[in-house]
Amino acid sequence: MEYLEKLCQEVILISKEAGSYILSEKQNINQNSIEKKGINDLVTFVDKTSEKKIKQKLTLLLPKAGIIAEESASEAELNTKYTWLIDPLDGTTNFVHGVPFYSVSIALACQNEIVLGVVYEPNRNECFYSWKGAPAFLNDNVIRISPTKKLAEALIGTGFPYSDFSVLPQYLNVFTYLLQHSRGIRRPGSAAVDLAYVACGRFDAFFEYGLHPWDVAAGAFLVQQAGGTAGTFNNTCNYIFGKEIIAANSFIFNELLTVFGKKYFI
């Protein structure tokens, strides 16, 4: 896997360059530079320029690779040997409001399997990354998921619905239960970082629906490389394109599946 390791190091540099660009533009954001792609779904020139820069550099690394990226509005299946999955600025709403929690997320799929993932959070200068056959890292230090075995002792990251409210009542059932049977729920606002926090043990679990492939591909891979599990609310493996995900260690994952079975699928 030496090739993937070298490729990962290049992607880390690309992610950090994009992160530096994002930080350099945060003072230039105003209401005139914000667009709406949908209900509460924002985009700025920073998202678009960041994506353009990332795509140009990744194309030089793998000229024939496909690309699935947020601002390109494509969610095509992974139908080439290599496919990049890119979120050039995950947490745009935080960014435009000056909340310092957002990230650059880049993953690489090879024949439908994620083999490389990088999540860079520029405000804290934290880079989470891994490649197939390697452990997960945070700034060159190996990371592992938390050893917490009981949901009652777990701190859980999540995201709130912002455009798809079709299953909101069921979702609130889950929230109600977890508020009473865990150590708390946090909603930072970047799914990629939330998943990276699961990978390094800051969160014991993460769940959300209404997601896209670029939101979860890199982060879920990091969780798995750090010893965790990822799946959909009914425990299928289609969490990349299935628009929903649970990520945790095996103990908390199984307990959350039980919760969703009782409170969500009713």
Residues 252, 132 share a domain: no
- One domain for residues 9 and 126: yes
- Mean pLDDT within 192-218: 97
pLDDT at 39: 57
Beginning with the edge strand found earlier in the chain, give each strand of the sheet holding 66-69 in spatial order: 66-69, 82-90, 103-110, 113-121, 126-131, 136-138, 141-143
Cα separation values, 236 from 83, 172, 182, 199, 217, Å: 22, 22, 24, 20, 15
Across residues 172-180, what is the average pLDDT? 95
Same domain flag for 225 and 118: no
pLDDT band at 129 (very low <50, low <70, confident <90, very high): very high
Residues 58 and 102 in one domain: yes
What is the mean predicted confidence (pLDDT) over 17-26?
Answer: 95
- Residues 157, 136 share a domain: no
pLDDT at 45: 86
Asked if 174 and 249 sit in the same domain, the reply is yes
Lowest mean pLDDT among 5-9, 38-42, 99-103, 169-173: 38-42
**Domain count within the chain:** 2
Residue 165 banded pLDDT, cuts 50, 70, 90: confident
pLDDT above 90: residue 204: yes
pLDDT at 73: 54
Chain mean position to CA 4:
20
| Domain endpoint, select from 85, 112, 143 | 143
Q: Please tell me the predicted confidence (pLDDT) of residue 161.
A: 79
R_g (Cα) of the chain, nearest Å? 17
Mean model confidence pLDDT for the chain: 92
Query: Domain of 161: which CATH number?
Result: 3.40.190.80
Dist. CA 85–CA 17, nearest whole Å: 17
- Of the residues 110, 126, 143, the one at which a domain ends: 143
Strands 244-248 and 229-231: antiparallel
Residue 227: pLDDT above 80? Answer: yes
- Kindly state whether residues 139 and 33 are assigned to the same domain: yes
Which residue, of 143, 172, 204, is where some domain finishes? 143
Confidence of residue 74 (pLDDT cuts 50, 70, 90): low
**Which amino acid belongs to residue 137?**
F
Q: What percent of the chain has pLDDT over 70?
A: 92
pLDDT over 80 (residue 247): yes
In a shared domain, residues 72 and 194? no
What mean pLDDT do residues 153-178 have?
Answer: 91
For residue 5, count CB atoms less than 10 angstroms from its CB and return exposed for 0-12, middle for 13-18, buried for 19 or more.
Answer: middle
Element spanning 106, H or E: strand 103-110
Listed in sequence order, the residues at least 6 apart from 132 whose beta carbon sits closer than 8 Å to its beta carbon are 1, 4, 113, 115, 116
Residue 58 CB partners (closer than 8 Å, separation 6+): 11, 14, 65, 67, 84, 86, 106
Determine the pLDDT at residue 159.
92
Helix, strand, coil shares of the chain as percentages rounded to 5?
40, 25, 35
86-110 pLDDT, tens per residue?
999 999 999 989 999 999 999 999 9
What average pLDDT does the segment 106-129 reach?
A: 96
In terms of C-beta density within 10 A (0-12 exposed, 13-18 middle, 19 or more buried), how is residue 258 classed?
A: exposed
Q: Which domain holds residue 94?
A: 2-143
- Which CATH number fits the domain that encloses residue 112? 3.30.540.10
Reported pTM:
0.94
Task: Identify the pLDDT of residue 193.
Answer: 98
Question: What single-letter amino acid sits at 167?
Answer: V
242 pLDDT band (50/70/90 cuts)? very high
What pLDDT is attached to residue 40?
A: 52
